[in-house]
Amino acid sequence: MSDTILVIGNKRYSSWSLRGWLAARLSGLDFTEVLVPLYRADTPERLKEVNPKAPPKVPSLLIGDNAIWDTLAICEYLAERFPEAKLWPEDTFTRAHARSVVAEMHSSFAALRDHIPMDLSKHLAYEAQPADVAADIARICEIWRQCRADYSAAGPYLFGQISVADVFFAPVLVRFHSRSIPLDDVCQAYFDTLWALLEFVDWRSAAEKEEWVITDYGPK
């Protein structure tokens, strides 16, 4: 058992856990996964038991006696510890662009988050979205199109090779899939590429086997 523990929530629902877990897998970190079911009365207590130095949120890393929380902080730690994984682009300005995109995803798109929570058990027929949700979707697609226009020669991901930027948009794919959001050809091609990422497939396969179901999770 590794002395590094990654604490996550339900794989079906926890978008931030997905980001932290993907980054850990892509970095090559040797870790033990501990899943604490969310939205239960004892969830905060159980999270504190597993990682007492971190707030009762997911994901968090426990590395010996040291704790790291917040998904972006975890990603930055992994990028520094495993530079060979190249979780950020090597070029200075490309890296700054990627960090800008990640920061926007980290702090924005509240309407999308509120109206279409991550839920891997749903795949509903498309319905028109409220104006603020549609605006968030349009902005995300604008980011994807711009990145693919600028970096397509370097590879199929947002900045060519897989990076923290793709990690941060992975839960968005689940949100889009759950409501059958239509995409143009460029965005659909990017969607298909990231959806097929082996680590992402592993996460979704594990989510399908989870026994915990939250029946009132998010809008119907």
| DSSP secondary structure, the chain, as one string | --SEEEEE--TTT-HHHHHHHHHHHHHT---EEEE--SSSTTHHHHHHHH-TTS-S-SSEEEETTEEEESHHHHHHHHHHH-GGG--S-SSHHHHHHHHHHHHHHHH--HHHHHHS---TT--PPP-PPPHHHHHHHHHHHHHHHHHHHHHGGG-SBTBBB--HHHHHHHHHHHHHHHTT----HHHHHHHHHHHT-HHHHHHHHHHHT-----TT-S--
135 or 1: which leads in pLDDT? 135
User: Alpha-carbon distance 17 to 22, whole Å?
Assistant: 8
220 assigned to some structural domain: no
Q: What is the pLDDT of residues 159-182, one digit of tens each?
A: 999 999 999 999 999 999 999 999
- For residue 77, the enclosing domain spans 4-84
What pLDDT, on the 0 to 100 scale, is given for residue 215? Answer: 66
User: Alpha-carbon distance 163 to 87, whole Å?
Assistant: 5
Q: Which of 219, 209, 216 lies closest to 10 in space, CA to CA?
A: 209
CATH of the domain at 49: 3.40.30.10
Statement: residue 5 has pLDDT above 90? yes
- Which two tokens mark 71? 């998904």
User: Alpha-carbon distance 151 to 94, whole Å?
Assistant: 9
User: Alpha-carbon distance 171 to 163, whole Å?
Assistant: 14
What phi-psi label fits residue 210: left (phi over 0), alpha (psi between -120 and 50 degrees) or beta? beta
210 assigned to some structural domain: no
Domain count, the chain: 2
Q: Are residues 127 and 185 in the same domain?
A: yes
Average pLDDT over residues 6-35: 98
Statement: residue 217 has pLDDT above 80? no
What pLDDT, on the 0 to 100 scale, is given for residue 219? Answer: 42
Q: Are residues 116 and 185 in the same domain?
A: yes
Statement: residue 20 has pLDDT above 90? yes
**Helical pair 164-178 and 131-151, crossing angle rounded to 10 deg:** 140
73 assigned to some structural domain: yes
211 assigned to some structural domain: no
Q: Which of 50, 84, 118 is the last residue of a domain?
A: 84
211 or 2: which leads in pLDDT? 211
What pLDDT, on the 0 to 100 scale, is given for residue 2? Answer: 78
Q: Are residues 53 and 121 in the same domain?
A: no
Q: Are residues 69 and 110 in the same domain?
A: no
Q: Are residues 11 and 70 in the same domain?
A: yes
213 or 151: which leads in pLDDT? 151
Q: Are residues 59 and 94 in the same domain?
A: no
209 assigned to some structural domain: no
For the entire predicted model, the pTM comes to 0.95
219 assigned to some structural domain: no
Statement: residue 1 has pLDDT above 90? no
- Which two tokens mark 197? 């990422």
